[in-house]
Amino acid sequence: MTWAIEFSSAPCLPTWPEDCQPNPGVYRFELALWLADAGYPGRTRDWAVSIRERRNLEQRLHRVADHAALDNLGRQIVELLRDERIEVLRAQAAT
């Protein structure tokens, strides 16, 4: 199961200039930092977050999954965004 969350945000901006990004247009570090620190003021930027569970080989072979933990994390991220008054454009669990 995978969650896909997309949102636009003025508070959530990249820290480094585009030409200093290890992967231009992909801001994983900045997004993780912002989610931890609850954001920066600035202009609007579109973001997409995907979370998925990490499973070892044995779990994959036996089709063992903890959908409840992943669902809980997805809901917490959506709640954090809403608490920060950020409009969530789309949030859904996908298999």
* pLDDT tens profile 35-60: 766 665 566 677 788 888 888 888 88
What domain range is 29 assigned to?
Answer: 2-94
* Total tally of structural domains belonging to the chain: 1
Closest CA to 14 of 52, 55, 60, 45: 45
Q: How far apart are the first and last CA of the chain?
A: 4
pTM of the model: 0.52
* Inter-residue contact 14 to 46 (CB < 8 Å): no
Q: How many residues does this entry show for the chain?
A: 95
d(CA 5, CA 81): 10
- Report pLDDT for 95: 62
